[in-house]
Amino acid sequence: MKHLFCDVCKREVVDPIPMRTFYHVREFDLCENCRDDLEAATKFTVRTRQPFDFAWFQKMQLDLIKIGIAKNRIPVGK
């Protein structure tokens, strides 16, 4: 049995199934709720970015995850 904990909210993921109940982003494991928060946090920023740059997107995601680890949740802006 594998024990997996979300790197952001520190909750245990019960019966971890990759890409279904937990998501691996770079070197971080995220639960489904934290991944949804990460997508919501990047959603509106990405829409306004012209032209889109994938290196910028990866850096923004990494920065949001690091902020989330420090605060135990990913900040979702509106």
Domain presence at residue 63? yes
Domain count, the chain: 1
Mean pLDDT over 4-14 rounds to 93
Mean pLDDT over 49-71 rounds to 92
Cα 67 → chain centroid: 10
> Can you give 12-39 as a three-state secondary structure string?
EECCCCECCCEEEECCEEEEHHHHHHHH
Domain presence at residue 77? no
Domain presence at residue 49? yes
Task: Identify the band that residue 15 occupies on the pLDDT scale cut at 50, 70 and 90.
Answer: confident
pLDDT for 49 equals 82
For 32, the domain range is 4-71
Domain presence at residue 78? no
Domain presence at residue 27? yes
- Residue 62: name the closest of 11, 7, 23, 25 by CA: 25
Domain presence at residue 46? yes
Model confidence, pTM: 0.85
